[in-house]
Structure 1
Amino acid sequence: MKRFLATKGCLLLCFFAAARQKTDPWLEELLRKQASPLLLHVLNKPDNFQYQLIYTQIDRDKHNRPQFKHYFLNVDRNRYFNPASMVKMPVAFAALEKLNELKKKGVNKYTAMLTDSSYERQTRVLTDTSAANGLPSIAQYIRKIFLVSDNDAYNRLYEFIGQQTLNEKLWQKGYTDSRITRRFVTMNEEQNRHTNAIRFIQDGRLIYEQPAAYNPTPFDFSKKILTGKGHWNRNDSLINEPMDFTTHNNIPLEDLQQIAQSVLFPESVKPQQRFRLTEDDYRFLYRYMSELPRESKHPKYDTTEFFESYTKFFFFKADRGRIPPSIRAFNKTGWSYGFLTDVTYIVDFEHKVEFMLSGVIYVNSDGILNDNKYEYEQVGYPIFKETGQLIYQYELTRPRKHQPNLRKFQLNYQD
């Protein structure tokens, strides 16, 4: 009887574990059918590489309205991965939403935004040499976030929105498992709860002043999140214990996919899931989510460092090659602590192909974090490239009842 109960308990545990994880065998079979030895090696070791993949097919009806079908591979919203720069995407969207809600005459995304120092370890920003007029603005920060994943730009938008408002916006939209708790600069939990006073200036005149803010709302950190077998701390000492990510930023891959979809295709999600954006906001975001560093005039980038596919992981970054002019990737990427993430919408205007891919992989074979010894180049980027290529080749042959009209995403990158 005890043996039966033990077996029954094991089966229940296996059932609940499987229920948390989403996998469509069809998607795995599609990848395995033509996979390289490297991709097969990764697919055979899901626990080592902690990969998750969402492939979203898009089909249009006769009125060009998109319909979405999601396929999953090893997707588990309870399995933590460090989102790194992926948090910059919802922060950019939320910044524009807050700006629209201010309804202050003369304040828009192009208005000069000066950041003051209001609490310990905070810093001021009064100029921005990358901007055409030499002044910081929400528009300029968003450009830098999507073009090269600029950390300071993210910090300034985090400070403009405020930690409490930022998280409440995400939770109200249904992303209750998500949290954004910190800047990308060394600060403790309390310091990150405080955000700076901000002034909006026009022609040297103050038109709106936002006071410093504090988030009194507690986060639920009851679930411990430990990764790896060791890590280097801030004092450059090796600690032979897992790294603690309990209080770090956290957004499940499914949420990131839906957040991107809600902006690229706002009509495809419920009204409460949408960000309150203007038509100009949408056009602005589509441009900078897809523009390449070499196409940017302000900011101007050194393209030997910020090469064409610098932030385009799926079937581009691995060999730093040129992206075909008929293809655009509207996306955001993140990389840190051995985790690589990309959430992208791919459009091929020549072949009338469109689809979304969202993926994460962990490439840290020695299990030591913060040592900058990760297999990004050897494993991570090649896997993203091959996975993207395999899905793209399938999309080229996939029958569609109605050919998509993709004019909405054909943009002018010259102005």
Structure 2
Amino acid sequence: MDSIDSYQVQIRYTQIDRRNDSVAFTDYDFQVNDSMYFYPASTAKFPTAVLALEKLNKTDTLSINTRYYIEGDTLESTVAKDISEIFAVSDNLANNRLVEFLGFEAINESLKNKGIAPVRLSHRLGYHSDDLRTKPLIIYLNDSTTGITESILNKTPERLELFEIEKGSGYFEDGELIEEAFDFSQKNYYPISAQHNLLKRVMFPQNYKATEQFDLSSEQRAYLLKAMHTTPQKAGYDQATYYDGYCKFFMFGDTKKIIPEYIEIYNKVGFAYGTLTDCAYIKDSKNNIDFLLTATILVNKDGIFNDDAYEYDEIGIPFLAQLGREIYQQELNRNQH
């Protein structure tokens, strides 16, 4: 708290109260400001995953288990596999494949139409091209027939005009230190309010009008929810590398412990450029509590980007883990009254 400006923390915590069949939300904010930019990193994979399911739902010939590959690539995948990889270990390539399927215009437009704003997704993640044109998908319609999707041309992203859109005092590019602020104006923009809104719609669709809900079949929604809380080990990953808290920063990010069976965390984390974010619905069936929590923190003491010197393990993850535990404790106390 004594050096709050440098960490650019934003937190939204939602209490959930139930009466009969209805669910009421009470939001509590700390420094949440849509105009204050932070880099969303992999949290942007959450809308991509949901919208890919919705697009499948509108296409009779495709299902989550339809096999496909990206033109020019040999790796076969399915949307089911992509979504599992996105939530279990935050796989960049799985996300980028779904981006090729959707295109950025469609992603941004769909979110806006559902009242999830502001948001602007404009680039793939990890090792990628900045090509504005999406690559076609080669889809197996059955064992002997393939179909091909149209390539989509995305618009050139406009500069974001936001506070803190330029950060730090320098950055590395091609091994060379450039002594000026790092410019995020062409990057993805997915603030706390939009992340939290999307999570609410996925977890509590009945609280929204039909036009604001995602159009998913009950099977698709069940699959999505399962993927969101499944730990890497249960998704088939090696537990030594991908421990339970690997993509669950709140409560468990700073420990290698197994998450108890009665606690389910439906979430999407992001970490890149010194920014750590988690957007989560946390449910404890043993103590009968649940709540929503979204938070972001920047840990870049030297003010230099792309130098891989960020305080993720020293400050960022312990902060988010403890924040999750504090709010959880608060909910336990609230439940006992």
Q: How does 1:105-254 map to 2 (within 5 A)?
A: 107-117=62-72, 124-127=73-76, 136-186=77-127, 189=130, 191=131, 193-206=132-145, 208-215=147-154, 217-221=155-159, 223=161, 225-233=165-173, 235-254=174-193
Segments of 5+ residues of structure 1 without an aligned counterpart are: 1-42, 118-123, 128-135, 402-415
Tell me which of 17, 20, 23 is aligned to 1:59.
Answer: 17
Report the Cα offset of residue 388 of structure 1: 1.0
**Aligned counterparts, 1:258-297, within 5 A:** 258-296=197-235
Contact 2:51/2:107 (8 A) holds in 1: yes
Partner of 1:304: 240
* Contact kept in structure 1, 2:54 and 2:214, CA below 8 Å: yes
Normalised TM-score (structure 2): 0.95
1:6 corresponds to which residue?
none
What is the rounded CA distance, in whole Å, between the counterparts of 1:259 and 1:295 in structure 2? 25
The answer (yes or no) to whether the contact 1:163–1:214 under 8 Å persists in 2 is no
Q: Is the 8 A contact 1:340 1:362 kept in 2?
A: yes
- The unaligned stretches of length 5 or more in structure 2 are none
Query: Is contact 2:10-2:296 (8 Å) kept?
Result: yes
Q: Which residue of structure 1 aligns with residue 57 of structure 2?
A: 100
Identify if the C-alpha distance between structure 1 residues 226 and 100 changes in structure 2 by more than 3 Å, giving closer, same or farther: same
**Could you tell me how far 1:400 is from its partner in structure 2?**
8.0
Judged with a 3 Å threshold, the aligned counterparts in structure 2 of structure 1 residues 147 and 186 are, in CA distance, closer, same or farther, namely closer
Q: Following TM superposition, where does structure 1 have runs of at least 4 consecutive aligned residues deviating by more than 6 angstroms?
A: none
Q: Does 1:340 align with 2:276?
A: yes
Cα drift, residue 208 of structure 1 = 3.8
C-alpha separation between the residues in 1 aligned to 2:335 and 2:126? 48
Letter in 2 for 1:316: F
Determine the C-alpha separation between the residues in 2 that align with 1:196 and 1:206: 19
* Aligned-residue offset at 1:109: 0.8
Amino acid at match of 2:88: L
User: Is 2:4 aligned against 1:46?
Assistant: yes
Distance 1:231 1:218, change over 3 A: closer
Q: What corresponds to 1:369 in structure 2?
A: 305
Question: Could you state the TM-score of these two structures normalised by the residue count of structure 1?
Answer: 0.77
**Structure 1 residue 188: Cα displacement:** 5.9
| C-alpha displacement of 1:174 | 2.4
Q: CA deviation at 1:232?
A: 0.6
Report deviation, 1:202: 4.2
* Cα distance in 2, alignment partners of residues 45 and 381 from structure 1: 17
Q: Paired residues, what number?
A: 335
Return the alpha-carbon distance in structure 2 between the equivalents of residues 312 and 253 of structure 1: 17
1:79 maps to 2:19: no
Please say if residues 194 and 214 of structure 1, whose CA atoms lie closer than 8 Å, have aligned partners that are also in contact.
yes
- Bigger Cα displacement from structure 2, 198-207 vs 147-156: 198-207
**Alpha-carbon RMSD:** 1.7
- Structure 1 residues 323 and 188, CA gap change in structure 2 (3 angstroms): closer
1 or 2 for the larger relative contact order (CA 8 Å, sep ≥6)?
2
Please tell me whether the aligned partners of residues 199 and 206 of structure 1 are also in contact (alpha carbons under 8 angstroms): no
